Chain A
Amino acid sequence: MKSAVIVFPGINRDRDMMLALENVTGVKPIAVWHADTELPKVDLVVVPGGFSYGDYLRCGAIAARSPIMSDVHAKAMKGLKVLGVCNGFQILTETGLLPGALLRNGALKFVCRDVKLRIENNRTWFTNRLKKGDVVPCPVAHGEGNYICDAETLQRLEGENRIVFRYAEGSNPNAAMNDIAGIMNEAGNVIGMMPHPENMVEPLHGSTACRPLFESLLAA
Chain B
Amino acid sequence: MPLFYFDFTANDDVSIDTIGQVLENETVAHKEAIKALAEIAAEEIPRDGKLVLTVTVTDADRETLFRAQMTFEPAL
Physical interaction between A and B: no
